[in-house]
Structure 1
Amino acid sequence: MDTKLFGEELQKLGFTFFSGVPCSYLKNLINYAINETDYVAAANEGDAIAIASAAYIGGRKSVVLMQNSGLTNATSPLTSLVYPFRIPMLGFVSLRGEPGVPDEPQHELMGRITTQMLELMNVEWQYLSKDLEEAQKQLNQANEQIAQNRPFFFVVKKGTFDNEPLKKQQNAIHSNQIIRHAHKNNQMPGRYEALAAINSMKDKDTIQLATTGKTGRELYEIEDASNNLYMVGSMGCISSFGLGLALSQPAKNIIVIDGDGSLLMRMGSLATNGNYNPGNMIHILLDNNAHESTGGQSTVSHNVDFVSIAASCGYLNAIHVHNLEELKACLQAWKETKRLTFLYMKISKQSKEHLARPSIKPHEVKERLQRFIESDPVQIKEVDGS
């Protein structure tokens, strides 16, 4: 079918924010998205889900595009981010390895189980028609599902879209301006102390995003607020989520609080963040060299120079902070200069004893944050009924 006309139908329904990873079956739709919409090229499909999820919370109807092999990469955020937070999005996944259609051997099994995987993950789906009029009807049906806070995916067969030439792309080049490595002893505070320092610097335009595990749980105990989001599952996705929110809400200050185990899991996100370079985002890595939430097993962070990596990926500022005062000073400087910033801080393995879990449900956290973004924050008691 005519790719441009189909793309225009998507935009008429309000779908103007796209993220994805290339696939030959979807290349023409991806080209249209790059040419005509806000498109974020993700390092992997799971990151694309996180980016699109945050863009939705930020007020943009979002679309993800991926090959079905990448559906396996997207499984974690689809099941532990999209599902518990009740985040709707429109997805297009190709059907490489379709039974009866010659293809490469690596696609054979995935071609047989693609639709089964979507069903297992509670994702509504349809095969996308190659007829534009029928496809328009399908889009309307999908839009109705999305209006009910449910994701909807189209499975796309070979030859569905006609040729859409890719316009000449201008690659953004963002060079690191400030890099500061360790040059004195580290204070090594506990994570709770570091989070309390970060929380003390927030203002009325700040949104705080905490990675999964004890980071989110400790921030919740410090102050449960309408401008906080506590990631559950989706390990490694927090900075991609931050990117989607920063791009969709440029007037807000987005603080991303990450852990070493989390960042190591999806380090490609650093390159994506550096490329799109939102000045309203600061990415703070609290490194205790451990998977503490799961028993304290060591990570390999002791071998990694995160500051140099972030700088090489295009973060304008990449700074090793040695103590809590430096941490707060860097946060204040970022709010004044608005440059994409990476802060690295070594912390101890100490965590708060008898740590509670958030009593507010993930979808309530999402809805509360949406109200905050709309400048109509609601008191916690009105959400949980206390």
Structure 2
Amino acid sequence: MDTGIFGENLRQLGYTFYSGVPCSYLKNLINYAINEYDYVAAANEGDAVAIASAAYLGGQKSVVLMQNSGLTNAISPLSSLNYPFRIPLLGFVSLRGEPGVPDEPQHELMGKVTTQMLELMDVEWQYLSRDLEEAQKQLIQADELVAQNRPFFFVVKKGTFDTEPLKKQQNLIHSNEIIRRVYKDNQRPTRHEALAVINSVKDKETVQLATTGKTGRELYEIEDSANNLYMVGSMGCISSFGLGLALSQPDKNIVVIDGDGSLLMRMGSLATNGYYSPGNMIHILLDNNAHESTGGQSTVSHNIDFVNIAASCGYTKSIHAHNLEELEACMHEWKKTKGLTFLYIKISKQSKEQLARPAIKPYEVKERLQRFLQIDSIEIKEVDGS
């Protein structure tokens, strides 16, 4: 089908934000998205889902694109982010390894189980028709489900989209301007103490995103507020979620609170964040060298220089804070000067005993945050049949 007309149909329905990972079956739709709209090239498919999901929460109807081999990478956010938070998105996944169609051996199994995986995750899906008129009808049906806070995926077979040449791209080049490395002993406060400082700097223009586990639970105990989001799964996706929200809400200050175990799981997100470089995002890493939320097992962060890595990925500022006073001062400085900032602090392995869990359900957290952001429900629009 004509890729440009199909893409215009998507625009008429309000879909102008795209994130994904390339696939040859989807290259023409991806080229169209890059040529015409906001497209975020994610390091992996799970990050793409997190980015697109946050953009939707921030008021932009979003599309995620991936090869079916990458659907396995996206299982975590689809099952533990989109499902419990009831965050919808429109997805396109290729059908590499389609039974009866010659393909590479690594695609054989995924070709057999792609649609079964979507069904197991309670994701509605359809094979996308090659006929434009029929595909337009399918888009309207899919959009109706998205409007009900449900993700919908089109499974795309080989040869579905007509050629869409990729226009010349202007690469975004962002380099580190400020780096402050370790130069004295670390205070190693508790996570609770560090979170209390971070929360004290919050204002009505701030959104705080806390990674899964005890980070979100302790922030909830310090102060539960409408501009907090507590990730309950999707380990490693919090900074990608922050990127999507920062890009869709440029007037808000997006504070991402991460942990070493979480960041290690999806370190490719640092490169993506640095490339798109939203100036309204600060990425705070609380490093205790442990998976403390699950019993204190050691991570492999002991020998990693996160500050240098973030700087090399293009974060405008990359700073090692040695104590709570520096942590607070750096946050106040960021609020004045902005710029994508990585703020690192060593914390102890101590945590509060009898730590509560949020009483509010994940989808209620999402809805409350949308009200804080003043995001109205998006009306379903009819597709022009031309």
TM range (shorter): over 0.9
Q: Tell me the equivalent position of 2:380.
A: none
The answer for unaligned runs of 5 or more in structure 2 is 377-386
SS in 1 for 2:82: helix
| TM-score in terms of structure 2 length | 0.97
Per-residue CA distance 1:176-227 (angstroms, 9 max, x = gap): 0001110011110000000000000011100000000000000000000000
Which letter maps to 2:20?
Answer: G
Amino acid corresponding to residue 41 of structure 1 in structure 2 = A
Distance, in Å, in 2 between the alignment partners of 1:157 and 1:145 is: 22
Please give the alpha-carbon distance, in whole angstroms, between the structure 1 residues aligned to 2:126 and 2:57: 25
* CA distance in 1: counterparts of 2:71 and 2:375, whole angstroms: 35
Between the aligned residues of both structures, percent identity stands at 84
In structure 1, how many angstroms separate the alpha carbons of the residues matched to 2:36 and 2:170? Answer: 14
Residue 34 (str. 1) matches residue 34 (str. 2): yes
CA distance in 2, matches of 1:176, 1:131: 48
Residue 12 of structure 2 is matched in structure 1 by 12
SS at match of 1:303: coil
Q: CA RMSD in A?
A: 0.7
Deviation (angstroms), 1:303:
1.1
| AA at the equivalent of 1:201 | V
Asked if 1:320 is matched to 2:320, the reply is yes
- Encode CA deviations 1:284-309: one digit per residue, 9 max, x unaligned: 00000000111100001001000000
Q: Give the conservation status (yes or no) of the 8 Å contact 2:59–2:375.
A: no
Question: 1:272 Cα shift?
Answer: 0.1
Aligned to 2:347: 347
For 1:53 and 1:274, locate their aligned partners in 2 and report how far apart those are by CA, in whole Å: 19
Confirm or deny that 1:292 pairs with 2:292.
yes
1:231 aligns to 2:253 (yes or no): no
Secondary structure of 1:327's counterpart equals helix
Matches within 5 A, 1:353-368: 353-368=353-368
Matches within 5 A, 1:1-386: 1-374=1-374
In 2, Cα distance between equivalents of 1:249 and 1:76: 25
**How many angstroms does 1:365 deviate by?**
0.1
Q: Which amino acid aligns with 2:342?
A: F
User: What do the CA deviations read for 1:80-137 (whole angstroms, capped 9, x no partner)?
Assistant: 0000000110000000000000000000000000000000000000000000000000
User: How far is 1:375 from its partner?
Assistant: 8.1
TM-score, length basis structure 1: 0.97
Q: Distance in 2 between matches of 1:26 and 1:375?
A: 31
Aligned to 2:172, the other structure's residue is in SS state: coil
Return the alpha-carbon distance in structure 1 between the equivalents of residues 157 and 138 of structure 2. Answer: 15
Distance 1:57 1:27 in 2: 26
Partner of 2:383: none
**Number of residue pairs aligned between Structure 1 and Structure 2:** 376
> How many Å apart are 1:338 and its aligned residue?
1.1
Q: CA deviation at 1:241?
A: 0.1
Distance verdict in 2 for CA 1:196–1:375, change over 3 Å: farther
- Looking at structure 1, the residues matched to 177 and 36 of structure 2 have their Cα atoms a distance apart, in angstroms, of 31
Which one-letter code corresponds to 1:268 in the other structure?
Answer: G
The 3 A distance-change label for structure 1 pair 144 and 375 is: closer
| Moved >3 Å (runs of 4+) | none
Q: Structure 2 CA distance, aligned partners of 1:334 and 1:133?
A: 50
Alignment partners' CA distance in 2, 1:173 and 1:333:
24
Given residue 93 of structure 1, which amino acid in structure 2 is its aligned partner? V
Q: Distance in 2 between matches of 1:356 and 1:203?
A: 24
Q: SS of the residue aligned with 2:302?
A: helix
Q: SS of the residue aligned with 1:160? A: coil
Query: What is the distance in 2 between the residues matched to 1:229 and 1:352?
Result: 20
What is the CA distance between 1:353 and its match in structure 2?
Answer: 1.1
Q: Distance in 1 between matches of 2:60 and 2:299?
A: 36
Query: What letter corresponds to residue 345 of structure 1 in structure 2?
Result: I
Q: Which runs of 5+ in 1 are unaligned?
A: 377-386
